[in-house]
Amino acid sequence: MSNTATDIDLINGCIRNDRRAQELLYKQFYDAMALICMRYTQNEDDAVEVLNNGFLKVFKNMRQFDKEKAGLYTWIRKIMINTAIDFIRQNQKHLNKVELSRAAEPYTDSEAMQKLDAEELLALIRKLPPSTQLVFNLYVVEGFTHKEIGAKMGISEGTSKWHLSEARRLLQKSLKTLQVA
């Protein structure tokens, strides 16, 4: 998504704390950012909390937006993902500190995955433990490396790999359960 004249107007309006510009920006990016927040949280209430906290950060930090470094969508998306990571850290008693240097890669039945619609897949992902869900989303959906995930979450690469392996194992188990039903 490129920076259009409308984006520039919205950015300048938000910098001036213009409530109308903030409302327009919120409406323009709401759907896309809500989907991101839903992928990282366990329920709708948490997703809304992350979404609103993320938009507050967007409005507070709008002066830091640099159109030369990223598009507005990309910049807001990064803030939402980081807000989701912060939310999970704050609301989880402790991260699973399992350390494995080599995590097994369980087989995932691609035919079974294709039969699921987006809502069913989201429901399965949301059933994962929070840290495992976070690593799965960062690696599979967002394309981060295990090294980047480790740095973002304060865990080792091996732990990140374990969470991904665990996510795949749990999703495979859920898929088998759905096929039997």
pLDDT, one tens digit per residue, over 6-52 is: 889 999 999 999 999 999 999 999 999 999 999 998 899 999 999 99
What is the pTM assigned to this prediction?
A: 0.70
Cβ(58)–Cβ(82) under 8 Å? Answer: no
Confidence of residue 107 (pLDDT cuts 50, 70, 90): very low
Rounded Cα distance between 34 and 165, Å, is: 26
Domains in the chain, please, with CATH?
A: 5-91 (1.10.1740.10), 110-180 (1.10.10.10)
Strand segments, DSSP code E, in 15-159 are none
* Mean pLDDT, the chain, integer: 84
